Structure 1
């Protein structure tokens, strides 16, 4: 028996690849396996090659695999593009309709199954994805009744007749391939999973769930890949909690609506990708100047412009940190796991109100859309902190205004909601005095700038650095952000076997940069390698700017639209050491 296996399905976008993957992985999740998925899809509604890859394991995993065990192909293009990943002795399950062939240099067993024909005999070619699923599931020797339960979950809303037809399609695919193969393949038999219930979701769903737990009751947003699933999730869930989602005409309207709603006291968020974040920049400056809480999620994708809207990249870091005109305080945090996506949203809302600043939650496409197993979430960790929100403003004399922007020792002023008795004050995007009245006084300007910029002095969020440092003076310190953590950990296992000592830090507080906490680890390492999905080493440059030690800081960059593979990280670190 084996402890892990990698499975991929490929075809043309719009012919059931996504639903096949969803049902297949749902069934595996029911058995208690740990899963990590990656979607390669085209920026078209229909057409263009797409594939979904799932890594299945009896132990927790947080990275896609270098190789592939089983490939399910709906067309020859899927074989030609993906067969190179197959390990020696791998398996291809392909539709006999297109007379599949295996490239000469590939050591793999081909099972040509009449996938489309069997589906058509059952009434419609649309069920070919269920035929293919049944065939690959049967080769693994896994119980069909579990898979059938997942089919019921997927198609139950369409009625029992549809469910029965799809279960029959699964059975046909299974019976055909088992007769061809002579039974399940012993080399691909997975060891039993622990059977424990696990959550199985994409990062965007965890972000939406975290927002609800944080008390968010309004999302204003404009759809954009790869952030749209946050909006879609909240459209279904927020009304159950008395909230709503408003689809605005553009990202400018989305962010200004969020600012206004937060001003009124409603915890509100917006979410977008790089192009949308660019449109929000002036309004982010408004939130900074008026000291309004604001939570934005930026799900990074390939840029610039439309770029690669369905591909992986981590190139918005500089835009998030420096994008606004003028100088305002803001916080940028970067979740590194599904669990982080949930808990960090709660922290983002708390931070935005505690410090009265914009908070940007920085994810990337792989973390946002890659479906992964995670342990049950601990709701005991959910705590709401609304900062200096004044419930009863002190009585004022006639003609006086509330000092909404009062100079305080920590730079954070008391905040009231509109309509509160004695809370009357002025709000404007121009420079202002303590009551909000416009002021161009040089003395006031300097004091207000110092007040705003001092708010984040010494800020260090919960686990701003995720540290795995078993060695006091390692040969290599590998640093990453976002979805790269699991990939780095897997590469480190091989590096350690080669005799290289390695530490690993995931930076989760991007801005303000946690220089004081990070510096000792950089000083102790022989060499520092920064891993990031962009072309200009944006994170590595943050290290050099804040910490120095440029002579020992190297970087590994990947910006072709695909996430890092463990083998790539291993080879690059070996070369840089």
Structure 2
């Protein structure tokens, strides 16, 4: 029996590929397996090849698998595009309707099951995906009962007849595949899972849940791939908590609305992707100049311009740090798993209010839309820190006549007291031009330098738990130090383990605080390595450049870059690394 298995379903976009993967993975999750899923899809509503690859394991997995055990095909294109990933012992199970052909150089076995015909005989061809799931059950020797609960949950509102018909489709698919497989039935069975109940979610859902737990009650956003799920999640949840979501006319309005809501005292956010962040840049500068908290989620995708809107990339890093005109304090943090995305979102709101500046939560398509197993979250770890927000009773002392509250008072740490509109004795100016301590516009060169120094001083005290995640750094004299951010973590961890097994000493550091860069934490790790290999999804080595700027050691820093729209795979990363050692 197998400890892990990789399964993929493919076909034309709009014919149920996503729902097929969802039903399969929900059942495997309920059996207690660990999962990691990644969808390849086109930037259109219907048509074009799409596939959903799901890795199922008895232990934690955080990356897409290089190879493939089972390929479920709804068209010939799925076979032609994906068969090369299959093991020699892999199985293609395909719908008889399109007369599937196994390529000449394929070593996988082709099993032809009449998905569409069986589904049509049961009432509708739409159930062909359920027949395909039944066929998968025969290959993996899975219990059909676990799917009944999933089918009931998904189709229960349509009535018991619909639930029963879908279960019959699964059962008929199981029988048909079992007969065709003969002795090979159950040949790709997995070892039994531990049966524990865990969450299975995409990174965007984890971010949205983190926003709720962190006290956010307002979101303004404009839909864009791959960030829209954050807004869709909060549209369903925030109203019940007294909150609201507004779909704005554009990203400029979204960012300024979020600033306004934060100014009024409501924890607020917006979320977008690269093109939307470009439009927000002036507003981000406004947040920095007016010292208003602002949380922005940037889910990176292929660029520039419209680029590859449904493909993986990490090319927004420089823009997120240096994109605004002029200089402002800004914090950029980057979770690497869905679990981290939940906690880091809470941290983002705390940091935004503590330092009264924009905080960008940087994600990427693989993390935002990839679905993964998440251990139960610890809500006792959730702490709310509103910084120097003044309670009304602290402002009761009368001010001198015509004296304004010093909203931008120069302080030792650069952070001033903040008040909400309407508080007694809290009147002050708020303007995007340079201003004095009370907010009144000022073009004094002396004042300008003081206020600039005050704002930039905030960055000196920014901290984040595990700003550099060093859990994978165990050697004092490593041959390689792998460095990455966001979703590259899983592939790096697996590549590192394989290189270690081959006698190469490997450390791994994942950067979670990208700006201000935690140079003091990172430098000792780089010093202890012969080579520093920076793994990132862009063409120019942006993270490598950031490291060189802040730490130096350019002579030992090498880049492993991938920018074809696909995620790094563990074996691929292992082989590329060996070429650099």
Q: What TM-score, normalized by structure 2, do the two folds share?
A: 0.98
1:469 to 458, 470, 473: 473
**1:112-151 equivalence runs, <5 A:** 112-151=112-151
Q: 2:413–2:461: 8 Å Cα contact kept in structure 1?
A: no
Residues 184, 25 of structure 1: alpha-carbon distance in 2 compared, 3 angstrom cutoff: farther
2:572 is matched with 568
Q: Deviations over 1:459-514 (max 9, x none)?
A: 22111111121110100000000001111010111111221100000000000011
2:92 is matched with 92
Cα distance in 2 for partners of 1:34, 1:15 equals 27
> What is the SS of the residue equivalent to 1:312?
coil
Cα distance in 2 for partners of 1:101, 1:234 equals 45
Residues 92, 38 of structure 1: alpha-carbon distance in 2 compared, 3 angstrom cutoff: same
2:404 is matched with 401
C-alpha displacement at 1:422, in angstroms?
0.5
Q: 2:407–2:428: 8 Å Cα contact kept in structure 1?
A: yes
Cα distance in 1 for partners of 2:184, 2:579 equals 42
Cα distance in 1 for partners of 2:289, 2:406 equals 15
Q: Deviations over 1:172-227 (max 9, x none)?
A: 11111111112663431110000000010000000000000000000000000000
Q: 1:141–1:184: 8 Å Cα contact kept in structure 2?
A: no
Cα distance in 2 for partners of 1:314, 1:395 equals 52
Q: 2:178–2:185: 8 Å Cα contact kept in structure 1?
A: no
Cα distance in 2 for partners of 1:234, 1:183 equals 49
C-alpha displacement at 1:397, in angstroms?
2.2
1:33 is matched with 33
1:501 aligned to 2:505? yes
1:432 is matched with 435
Cα distance in 1 for partners of 2:461, 2:384 equals 21
Cα distance in 2 for partners of 1:138, 1:156 equals 25
Cα distance in 2 for partners of 1:487, 1:495 equals 12
Q: Which runs of 4+ in 1 moved over 6 A?
A: none
Cα distance in 1 for partners of 2:139, 2:125 equals 22
2:422 to 374, 399, 419: 419
1:108 is matched with 108
Q: 1:138–1:184: 8 Å Cα contact kept in structure 2?
A: no
1:256 aligned to 2:256? yes
Cα distance in 1 for partners of 2:468, 2:562 equals 22
1:49 is matched with 49
> What is the SS of the residue equivalent to 1:279?
helix
**Gaps in structure 1 of 5+ consecutive residues:** none
Q: Deviations over 1:94-116 (max 9, x none)?
A: 00111111111111111100011
Cα distance in 2 for partners of 1:155, 1:567 equals 39
Cα distance in 1 for partners of 2:20, 2:423 equals 54
**1:305-344 equivalence runs, <5 A:** 305-344=305-344
User: For structure 1, which segment, 263-272 or 145-154, has the greater mean C-alpha deviation from structure 2 after superposition?
Assistant: 145-154
C-alpha displacement at 1:576, in angstroms?
0.6
**1:63-462 equivalence runs, <5 A:** 63-182=63-182, 185-392=185-392, 393=395, 394-462=397-465
Q: Deviations over 1:336-369 (max 9, x none)?
A: 1111110001000000000000000000000000
1:550 aligned to 2:554? yes
Q: 2:138–2:186: 8 Å Cα contact kept in structure 1?
A: no
Cα distance in 2 for partners of 1:67, 1:344 equals 32
> What is the SS of the residue equivalent to 2:346?
helix
> What is the SS of the residue equivalent to 2:554?
coil
Aligned length: 577
Q: 1:530–1:554: 8 Å Cα contact kept in structure 2?
A: yes
Q: 1:138–1:144: 8 Å Cα contact kept in structure 2?
A: no
Cα distance in 1 for partners of 2:144, 2:153 equals 14
Cα distance in 2 for partners of 1:45, 1:336 equals 29
> What is the SS of the residue equivalent to 1:91?
strand
User: For structure 1, which segment, 117-126 or 367-376, has the greater mean C-alpha deviation from structure 2 after superposition?
Assistant: 117-126
C-alpha displacement at 1:381, in angstroms?
0.3
> What is the SS of the residue equivalent to 2:409?
coil
Q: What TM-score, normalized by structure 1, do the two folds share?
A: 0.99
Cα distance in 2 for partners of 1:419, 1:18 equals 50
Cα distance in 2 for partners of 1:107, 1:152 equals 38
